[in-house]
Structure formats: C-alpha cells, structure tokens
Chain A
Amino acid sequence: ILNVEQSPQSLHVQEGDSTNFTCSFPSSNFYALHWYRWETAKSPEALFVMTLNGDEKKKGRISATLNTKEGYSYLYIKGSQPEDSATYLCAFWSQGAQKLVFGQGTRLTINP
C-alpha cells in the first residue's frame, strides 16, 4: 500500500513569517511528486510537479525541493500573506501504480 505522509497536519503562522512543511513518500519506483494548493470553496490548484532528484521549483514566494532517494519533499513559503491560507496537498505517482496518491494535506492559516 502506497502511503504519503504530510506534516504537520495544521500550522498557524503570523503574517510575514516564513514557513515550511514536509511530504514523505516511498523512495522506490518514483515517477513524480505533485504539490497542490486547495483554498476553501475553490478547486485544488497545481503548484509544482517535480520528477528529478534534487529538483527545486519556485513560484513567487513559494518554492519546493525534492529528494527521491530518501523520499521527501519540502514546500517553503517566504513572507506568508493571508492569501496563502489554504490546504497544501502533495501527491505521489509511482511507477506501476498509475495513479496519484495524495497525502492528507497541511492546513495553513496565516494570522494577520
């Protein structure tokens, strides 16, 4: 059974602070790691898709890193803003499974 773990489950951060959270996935049979942001009452929105060990992706104040050998990815948010409040989901696509397996998400709340 493929298991994707995200930590922490929830996080409260002051506006302006930087934060990061973790996605752990099986290190074998790796194909791709996806990050999505899911704001309340909206659809999940793709942030990054990473496929290579050592990949680093950046979109504005948000960045992500990937370590496929040890099976983890970090998502960083620099200078958090209220609009960053959302649930951040990671999802793992493994060779052979032919599907995205999602973690439970990290719910981020930015306090003004």
Chain B
Amino acid sequence: EAGVTQSPTHLIKTRGQQATLRCSPISGHTSVYWYQQALGLGLQFLLWYDEGEERNRGNFPPRFSGRQFPNYSSELNVNALELEDSALYLCASSLTPWSSYEQYFGPGTRLTVT
C-alpha cells in the first residue's frame, strides 16, 4: 500500500511569489492535515480537510489556503510569500476524522523563500 506522497520535495521561491504544495493521502483515507515546521519550532497545525470540506484551520494568516479534491488529494497554497514561510510542510492523512485514529505523514516539502 502506497503511503502519503507529497510534491515537490523542495521548492525555492522569492518573497512575494506564490507556492503550491500537493499531497496524496493513503488510498481510502478521507482526512488530510497540513502542518508547518519552521526552524527551531515544533509541528504547527495549519489546515484540516475531510470529505472535501475545510474542518479547521490553525493560527495562520489567510495567505495560507488550500483545498481537497474529490479524490481526497489536497493542495496547500501560500500567497505573497514571506521569508518566515521558509519551513518544512508536512501533510498527513487518516482513515477517519476521529481523533482516536493515528495520522500517517508524508515526507514533506521543504519550502525556501529568498
């Protein structure tokens, strides 16, 4: 069974540009979560999608947005990039939206903003 996949692995953008990160969950998983790990910080919750709907978002500005497609894959968009957006972005999926199910993480996208 294929795990969670993310693309691209690395992304280099300049300040002010837009970045698009993609995530494919494990087959059959309906929930997709996005996390940010900036340098020196822990994993911070960004967004949660389930069955195509945004269920929750973390304390991030509206520049961070995303969507979930009918096949449950997801996209994270970051507009008007700022230097502090440089981070590892992890996507995770779970079988159900229930908190008692573990999340399966992808390998991440390393975003560098120059």
**A89-B43, A98-B48, A99-B48 are known contacts. Are A31 and B107 too (CB-CB below 8 A)?**
no
B99 near A46 (CB under 8 angstroms)?
no
A99 touches B101 (CB 8 A): no
- Minimum C-beta distance from A112 to chain B (A): 27
Contact residues of A: prevailing secondary structure: strand
Distance to closest chain B CB from A104 (angstroms)? 4
Contacts of B107 in A (CB 8 A): 42-43
Contact of B104 among A46, A51, A98 (CB under 8 A): A46
Q: Please tell me if the beta carbons of B42 and A98 are within 8 angstroms of each other in the complex.
A: no
Contact A31/B99 with A43-B105, A100-B45 known, Cβ cut-off 8 Å: yes
Q: How far is the CB of B29 from chain A (nearest CB, A)?
A: 13
Q: B106 — which chain A residues lie within 8 A by C-beta?
A: 43
Quick one: which of B58, B99, B106 has the most chain A CB within 10 A? B99
Residue of B nearest to A101 (CB): B45
Output the least CB separation between A26 and chain B (Å).
14
Known: A43-B90, A43-B107, A44-B90. A34 touches B102 (CB 8 A): yes
Q: With a CB–CB cut-off of 8 A, which chain B residues contact A51?
A: 99-100
**Range for the number of chain B residues in contact with chain A:** 20 to 34
Chain A positions within 8 Å of B42 at CB level: 89, 102-105
Residues of A within 8 A of B99 (CB): 31-32, 51, 93, 100
Which of A42, A98, A104 touches B56 (beta carbons < 8 Å)? A98
Q: Is B10 an interface residue (CB 8 A)?
A: no
Q: Which of B1-58 contact A (CB under 8 A)?
A: 3-4, 33, 35, 41-45, 48, 55-56, 58
Q: Enumerate chain A interface residues (CB-CB to B < 8 A).
A: 31-32, 34, 36, 42-46, 49, 51, 89, 91, 93, 98-105
30 example contacts (A-B, Cβ-Cβ < 8 A) are as follows A31-B100, A32-B99, A34-B102, A34-B103, A36-B105, A43-B3, A43-B4, A43-B90, A43-B105, A43-B106, A43-B108, A44-B92, A44-B105, A46-B103, A49-B100, A49-B102, A51-B99, A89-B43, A91-B43, A93-B99, A98-B55, A99-B48, A99-B58, A100-B45, A100-B99, A101-B45, A102-B35, A102-B43, A102-B45, A104-B42
